[in-house]
Structure 1
Amino acid sequence: MNLESIMRPLRNIYVFACVFTFTLWTNIQPTVEKEFIANFSNSLLTNVPKNIPVHTHVLDLSHNRISGFSILEFISLSDLQVLNISHNLIIVLDFSVFIFNEDLEYLDLSHNNILKVYCRTLVHLRHLDLSFNRFTALPICWEFGNMFHLEYLGLSATIIRRSDLRYIIHLQLHTLFLTLEDFSLYEPQSLTALNIKNLHIVFAANQNFSFSLLYDGMSTSENLEIVNLSYTLSYKDFLSSLTLVENIKTKALMLDNVDLQWIIILKIFKLIWNSPVEHLTVRNLTFRGPVRVLNEYEFLPLLSSLEHLISLSDSMKVLTLEHVRNKIYYFNQEILYRQFSEMNIDSLTIYDAYMPHMLCPNRTSSFQYLNFSHNALTDELFQDCRTLPDLKLLILKRNKFESLSKVSFMTSHMKSLKYLDMSNNLLSHDGADTQCRWAESLTELDLSSNQLSDTVFECLPVNIKKLSLQSNQITSVPKGMAELKSLQELNVAWNRLSDLPGCGGFPSLEILNIEMNSIITPSADFFQSCPRVRELQAGKNPFKCSCELQAFIRLERQSGGKLFGWPMAYVCEYPEDLRGMQLKDFHLSELACNTMLLLVTALLLTLVLVAVVVFVCIYLDVPWYMRMMWQWTQTKRRAWHNHPEEQETILQFHAFVSYSERDALWVKNELIPNLEKGEGCVQLCQHERNFVPGKSIVENIINCIEKSYKSIFVLSPNFVQSEWCHYELYFAHHKLFSENSNSLILILLEPIPPYIIPARYHKLKALMAKRTYLEWPKERSKRALFWANLRAAISINLPTSFEANEEQCDVTPTSSISQYAND
Structure 2
Amino acid sequence: MRPLTNIYVFACVFTCTLWNNIQPTVENEFIANYSSNLLTNVPKNISVHTHVLDLSHNKISGLSISEFISLPDLQVLNLSHNLITELDFSIFTFNEDLGYLDLSHNNILKVYCQTLPYLRHLDLSFNKFTALPICQEFGNMFRLEYLGLSAAMIRRSDFMYIIHLQLHTVILTLEDFSLYESQSLTALNTRNLDIVFAANQNFIFSLLYDGMSTAENLRIVNLRYTLSYKDFPAPPLTLLKKIKTTALVLDTVDLQWAIILQIFLLIWYSPVEHLTVRNLTFRGPVSELPEHELLLFLGSLEQLISSGGSMKTLTLEHVRNRAYYFNQEILYRQFSEMNIASLTIYDAYMPHMLCPNRTSSFQSLNFSHNALTDELFQNCHTLTDLKLLILQRNKFESLPKVSFMTSHMKSLKYLDVSGNLLRHDAADVQCRWAESLTELDLSSNQLMDAVFECLPVNIKKLHLQSNQITRVPKGLAELKSLEELNLAQNSLADLPGCGGFTSLEVLNVEMNLILTPSADFFQSCTRVRELQAGHNPFRCSCELQDFVRLERRSGGKLAGWPAAYVCEYPEDLKGTQLKDFHLSELACNATLLLVTALLLTLALVAVVAFLCIFLDAPWYVRMTWQWTQTKRRARQSRPEEQESVLQFHAFISYSERDSLWVKNELIPNLEKGEGCVQLCQHERNFIPGKSIVENIINCIEKSYKSIFVLSPNFVQSEWCHYELYFAHHKLFSESSNSLILILLEPIPPYVIPARYHKLKALMAKRTYLEWPKERSKRALFWANLRAAISINLPISFEANEEQSEVTSTSSISQHVNN
Q: Do structure 1's residue 440 and structure 2's residue 435 form an aligned pair?
A: yes
Q: Do structure 1's residue 431 and structure 2's residue 426 form an aligned pair?
A: yes
Asked if the contact 1:663/1:718 (under 8 Å) is kept, the reply is no
Shift of residue 328, structure 1, vs aligned partner: 0.8
Asked if the contact 1:173/1:196 (under 8 Å) is kept, the reply is yes
- Identify if the C-alpha distance between structure 1 residues 226 and 750 changes in structure 2 by more than 3 Å, giving closer, same or farther: same
Give matches, 1:55-66, under 5 Å: 55-66=49-60
Q: 1:200 maps to which residue?
A: 194
Match of 1:98 among 83, 86, 92: 92
Question: Helix, strand or coil for the counterpart of 2:277?
Answer: strand
Give matches, 1:90-489, under 5 Å: 90-239=84-233, 243-245=237-239, 246-289=241-284, 293-294=288-289, 296-489=291-484
Amino acid at match of 1:78: P
Amino acid at match of 1:316: M
Q: Do structure 1's residue 12 and structure 2's residue 5 form an aligned pair?
A: yes
Shift of residue 480, structure 1, vs aligned partner: 0.8
User: Partners in 2 of 1:369 and 1:444 — Cα distance?
Assistant: 14
User: Partners in 2 of 1:173 and 1:718 — Cα distance?
Assistant: 126
User: Partners in 1 of 2:270 and 2:735 — Cα distance?
Assistant: 129
User: Partners in 2 of 1:634 and 1:337 — Cα distance?
Assistant: 106
Asked if the contact 2:719/2:815 (under 8 Å) is kept, the reply is no
User: Partners in 1 of 2:604 and 2:52 — Cα distance?
Assistant: 81
Shift of residue 417, structure 1, vs aligned partner: 0.4
Shift of residue 486, structure 1, vs aligned partner: 0.6
Q: 2:486 maps to which residue?
A: 491
Q: Per-residue CA shift, 1:113-145, capped at 9, x if unaligned?
A: 111111111111111111111111111111111
Shift of residue 312, structure 1, vs aligned partner: 3.0
Shift of residue 94, structure 1, vs aligned partner: 1.1
User: Partners in 2 of 1:735 and 1:311 — Cα distance?
Assistant: 118
Shift of residue 338, structure 1, vs aligned partner: 0.4
Shift of residue 14, structure 1, vs aligned partner: 2.6
Shift of residue 636, structure 1, vs aligned partner: 12
Asked if the contact 2:286/2:323 (under 8 Å) is kept, the reply is no
Q: 2:537 maps to which residue?
A: 542
Shift of residue 789, structure 1, vs aligned partner: 5.2
User: For structure 1, which runs of at least 5 residues remain unmatched after alignment?
Assistant: 1-6, 640-648
Shift of residue 482, structure 1, vs aligned partner: 1.1
Question: Helix, strand or coil for the counterpart of 1:192?
Answer: helix
Match of 1:723 among 710, 717, 728: 717
Shift of residue 596, structure 1, vs aligned partner: 2.4
- Identify if the C-alpha distance between structure 1 residues 698 and 487 changes in structure 2 by more than 3 Å, giving closer, same or farther: same
Amino acid at match of 1:428: R
Asked if the contact 2:311/2:340 (under 8 Å) is kept, the reply is yes
- Identify if the C-alpha distance between structure 1 residues 751 and 326 changes in structure 2 by more than 3 Å, giving closer, same or farther: same
Give matches, 1:726-745, under 5 Å: 726-727=720-721, 729-730=723-724, 733=727
Match of 2:518 among 519, 523, 535: 523
- Identify if the C-alpha distance between structure 1 residues 714 and 74 changes in structure 2 by more than 3 Å, giving closer, same or farther: closer
User: Partners in 2 of 1:335 and 1:482 — Cα distance?
Assistant: 43
Q: Per-residue CA shift, 1:543-578, capped at 9, x if unaligned?
A: 100111111111101111111101111110100111
- Identify if the C-alpha distance between structure 1 residues 742 and 289 changes in structure 2 by more than 3 Å, giving closer, same or farther: closer
Question: Helix, strand or coil for the counterpart of 1:260?
Answer: strand
Deviates more, 1:603-612 or 1:235-244: 235-244
Question: Helix, strand or coil for the counterpart of 1:227?
Answer: strand
User: Partners in 2 of 1:739 and 1:398 — Cα distance?
Assistant: 90
Q: Per-residue CA shift, 1:219-258, capped at 9, x if unaligned?
A: 1111000000011222111145655522111110000000
Shift of residue 751, structure 1, vs aligned partner: 9.9
Asked if the contact 1:651/1:708 (under 8 Å) is kept, the reply is yes
Shift of residue 311, structure 1, vs aligned partner: 2.5
User: Partners in 1 of 2:550 and 2:60 — Cα distance?
Assistant: 63
| Cα RMSD, aligned residues only | 3.9
User: Partners in 2 of 1:81 and 1:350 — Cα distance?
Assistant: 43
Deviates more, 1:704-713 or 1:175-184: 704-713
- Identify if the C-alpha distance between structure 1 residues 289 and 737 changes in structure 2 by more than 3 Å, giving closer, same or farther: same
Q: Do structure 1's residue 584 and structure 2's residue 584 form an aligned pair?
A: no
Asked if the contact 2:650/2:680 (under 8 Å) is kept, the reply is yes
Q: Do structure 1's residue 559 and structure 2's residue 530 form an aligned pair?
A: no
User: Partners in 2 of 1:381 and 1:675 — Cα distance?
Assistant: 126
Match of 2:740 among 737, 746, 749: 746
User: Partners in 2 of 1:31 and 1:704 — Cα distance?
Assistant: 93
Asked if the contact 2:436/2:458 (under 8 Å) is kept, the reply is yes
User: Partners in 2 of 1:376 and 1:450 — Cα distance?
Assistant: 15
Q: Do structure 1's residue 615 and structure 2's residue 610 form an aligned pair?
A: yes
- Identify if the C-alpha distance between structure 1 residues 85 and 439 changes in structure 2 by more than 3 Å, giving closer, same or farther: same
User: Partners in 1 of 2:590 and 2:802 — Cα distance?
Assistant: 75
User: Partners in 2 of 1:355 and 1:805 — Cα distance?
Assistant: 124
User: Partners in 1 of 2:744 and 2:204 — Cα distance?
Assistant: 141
Match of 1:596 among 584, 591, 595: 591
- Identify if the C-alpha distance between structure 1 residues 660 and 198 changes in structure 2 by more than 3 Å, giving closer, same or farther: same
User: Partners in 2 of 1:131 and 1:754 — Cα distance?
Assistant: 122
Asked if the contact 1:427/1:452 (under 8 Å) is kept, the reply is yes
Deviates more, 1:134-143 or 1:280-289: 134-143
User: Partners in 2 of 1:291 and 1:387 — Cα distance?
Assistant: 31
Amino acid at match of 1:471: S
Aligned length: 799
Match of 1:27 among 13, 20, 31: 20
User: Partners in 1 of 2:507 and 2:401 — Cα distance?
Assistant: 27
User: Partners in 1 of 2:763 and 2:537 — Cα distance?
Assistant: 71
User: Partners in 1 of 2:407 and 2:88 — Cα distance?
Assistant: 68
User: Partners in 2 of 1:682 and 1:168 — Cα distance?
Assistant: 142
Q: 2:637 maps to which residue?
A: none
Question: Helix, strand or coil for the counterpart of 1:128?
Answer: strand
Q: 1:575 maps to which residue?
A: 570
User: Partners in 2 of 1:607 and 1:804 — Cα distance?
Assistant: 54
- Identify if the C-alpha distance between structure 1 residues 710 and 150 changes in structure 2 by more than 3 Å, giving closer, same or farther: closer
Amino acid at match of 1:172: Q
User: Partners in 2 of 1:72 and 1:269 — Cα distance?
Assistant: 54
Amino acid at match of 1:727: H
Question: Helix, strand or coil for the counterpart of 1:340?
Answer: helix
Deviates more, 1:480-489 or 1:234-243: 234-243
Asked if the contact 2:128/2:150 (under 8 Å) is kept, the reply is yes
Q: 2:641 maps to which residue?
A: none
Deviates more, 1:766-775 or 1:23-32: 766-775
Asked if the contact 1:222/1:251 (under 8 Å) is kept, the reply is yes
Asked if the contact 2:166/2:189 (under 8 Å) is kept, the reply is yes
Shift of residue 316, structure 1, vs aligned partner: 0.6
Deviates more, 1:289-298 or 1:49-58: 289-298
- Identify if the C-alpha distance between structure 1 residues 239 and 630 changes in structure 2 by more than 3 Å, giving closer, same or farther: closer
Asked if the contact 2:654/2:714 (under 8 Å) is kept, the reply is no
Asked if the contact 1:651/1:798 (under 8 Å) is kept, the reply is no
Question: Helix, strand or coil for the counterpart of 1:272?
Answer: helix
TM-score, normalising length: structure 1: 0.88
- Identify if the C-alpha distance between structure 1 residues 340 and 535 changes in structure 2 by more than 3 Å, giving closer, same or farther: same
Amino acid at match of 1:378: T
Q: 1:3 maps to which residue?
A: none
Shift of residue 763, structure 1, vs aligned partner: 4.7
